[in-house]
Structures are given as C-alpha cells and as structure tokens.
Amino acid sequence: MTEIQTASLPHALAGRDVVVGAKKRSGKTLAFVVPVLEKLFRERYTPGRGVGSIILCPTRELACQTFEVFKSVARHHSFSIGLLTGGGNSVDLEEKDHGNDINILVCTPSETLQEKREDSLPAAVQGLIPDNELATTVSLLLDGKISSLSRRTISPQPMVARRPSLHGDMNPFHSFSRGMRKSAIHHAMDGEGNRRRSLPEVEEELAGGGGVRPR
Ligand SMILES: Nc1ncnc2c1ncn2[C@@H]1O[C@H](COP(=O)(O)OP(=O)(O)OP(=O)(O)O)[C@@H](O)[C@H]1O
C-alpha cells in the first residue's frame, strides 16, 4: 500500500469519515475505491439492492477516470457501477451489465446542478452534506434523468472525500470537506509524499482555504 492508503484505509474500513490529501499519483483514488468496495461486499450488495455508494466528482474527467478504476478493481465483484455526468440534457449513463439498477454511482453533480452552484461545487451539495441529506440531493439530481434507478438504499455515510492533487484548484475540495462532519479523519502528506501532516495543521489550512502546500 502507499503511505496515504496505509494512513487512511483503517479508518475508512472502520466506517469513519475521512478526508485525504496528497500529491499526484500517491494512491488517493484507491484509498477510497477499496473501502467502498469492501463495505458493499461486507454488506452483501448485489444488483437489485439499490445504491450503496455515491461518488461525487468535481469534473467529468475525474468522474470518468474514477468510473474506470471502479470497473477495473471491482471486475471480480458483481456490483453494478454507473457513471452520470453532464448537465441539462447531456446526461450520460453507463452501467456494468445490470440495466439501471446501480450499486455504485459516480457522478458530477456540479455540472448537473449548475444553476445552484456556489464557487465550484453546487450549493445544494454543500448545504445538504452536513445535514446528512445527500440522498435527497442525489434524488433531486436524478429526477427525470434516470427513472428506473433504485433509490431504496441510498446511504451517504460514511464518506471518504478525496481532494484533487496538491497543486490543483482547491476550492471544490475545501467547500466539500467543510461540509463533512467535524469528526472526519484528516490525512495529508507533504509535497514529497512521505511525511504525514498533523490533523491541526490540515484543519487550519482547510479553514483558511489555503490548501495543504508542499513545504
Ligand atoms: N497500493 C498500490 N499498489 C500498487 N499500485 C498502486 C497502489 N495504489 C495505487 N497504485 C497505482 O498507482 C497509480 C496512481 O494511483 P491513484 O490513481 O490512486 O493515485 P491518485 O493520487 O489518485 O492520482 P491523481 O492525483 O493523479 O488523481 C495508479 O496506476 C494505481 O494503479
């Protein structure tokens, strides 16, 4: 495992909220893909049981990459995995063999709810996450888009947020992470990718909107 995975996976697998920040190609994606798959596997999710995990991505590109990683890592599982991107009438949906009955939904609500956007993330998402109403948000998102998607078992907690790489635009990450429960576990590596920053340092930087910068 990479260092960021070693730091975050035990917490994520234990069901705690986790915020992860680290440099590019440090293993952030698998740091949340693995616990999501493990949690759904333990809870015996199968196609037909509904949505067990919703992955919110700030850009279509990141959503497509994440979708491909999920498909690859989960290839020996029977989970159905969906990709929902785009706004207005340009919603794309891809599923893995099981119609529209999706267990893992990878989506870009910031595009689809553009009119509600505040900064780079939709205000609806920012506002609803702390109130634990992500399911409502996503139901709104999907209304009229995918009529046959099961909403029976949408369960937004716990959440694992991955931030973009260190040098990217941090606004979406800060908005999103501030919306997570205060109890979230934060892990960040420095710019060299080999030193764990303390929780107070990370929280201070998140609160200031300055991002976790390499030293
Ligand atoms: N534990 C691991 N063992 C071996 N390879 C790994 C491991 N974790 C990640 N990788 C590989 O390292 C590469 C980078 O991983 P990943 O995409 O998860 O990083 P990232 O931090 O999300 O990258 P980016 O910042 O570019 O989005 C990928 O090719 C991935 O398959």
The amino acid present at 129, given as its one-letter code, is: I
69 CA → ligand 1 middle, Å:
10
Number of domains in the chain: 1
Q: How far is the CA of 67 from the centre of ligand 1 (A)?
A: 14
pLDDT at position 189 = 58
Whether residue 71 is contained in a domain is answered as yes
- Position 68 scores a pLDDT of 92
Across the beta sheet with 18-21, the strand order is 160-162, 18-21, 185-188
215: in domain = no
Ligand 1 atom at shortest distance from the alpha carbon of 1: 1
User: What is the structure's pLDDT at 64?
Assistant: 86
Which residue out of 1, 2, 36, 187 has the highest number of ligand 1 atoms within 8 Å of its CB and is therefore the one to mutate?
2
- Please report the ipTM that was assigned to this predicted complex: 0.95
Measured in angstroms, how far is the CA atom of residue 33 from the centroid of ligand 1?
Answer: 11
Between CA 15 and CA 43 the distance in angstroms is: 12
Distance CA 1, CA 111 (A): 33
Within 67-184, strands assigned E span: 81-85, 92-94, 104-107, 117-118, 121-122, 160-162
Kindly state whether residue 133 falls inside one of the protein's structural domains: yes
Output the domain CATH number for residue 23.
3.40.50.300
Distance 2 CA to ligand 1 centre (A): 8
Given the CA of residue 30, which atom of ligand 1 is nearest to it?
Answer: 18
Residue 137 corresponds to which tokens in the numbers above? 């948000």
Q: How far is the CA of 29 from the centre of ligand 1 (A)?
A: 6
pLDDT value of residue 101: 64
Q: For atom 14 of ligand 1, which residue has the closest CA?
A: 25
Task: Flag whether 181 is in a domain.
Answer: yes
Distance 49 CA to ligand 1 centre (A): 30
| SS3 category, 182 | coil
Residue 103 covered by a domain: yes
Atom of ligand 1 at shortest range from CA of 24: 25
Residues with Cβ within 6 A of ligand 1? 1-2, 5, 24-30, 165
Q: What is the pLDDT of residue 180?
A: 46
Locate tokens 């929280």: which residue? 203
Kindly state whether residue 214 falls inside one of the protein's structural domains: no
Q: What's the pLDDT score for residue 145?
A: 36
Q: pLDDT tens per residue, the chain (215 residues)?
A: 888 888 888 888 887 777 777 778 888 899 989 999 998 999 888 877 777 787 877 677 888 899 899 999 999 998 888 776 654 433 445 544 444 467 887 876 545 444 334 443 333 333 333 333 344 445 444 443 333 333 333 333 344 444 443 333 333 334 344 444 445 566 665 555 444 455 455 545 545 544 334 33
115 domain residue, yes or no? yes
Q: Could you tell me the residue range of the domain that residue 33 belongs to?
A: 3-208
Mutating to test ligand 1, I would choose from 9, 19, 29 the residue with most ligand atoms within 8 A of its C-beta, which is 29
Asked, for residue 187, whether it belongs to a domain, the answer is: yes
180: nearest Cα among 70, 34, 32, 51: 32
How far is it, in rounded angstroms, from Cα 102 to Cα 52? 8
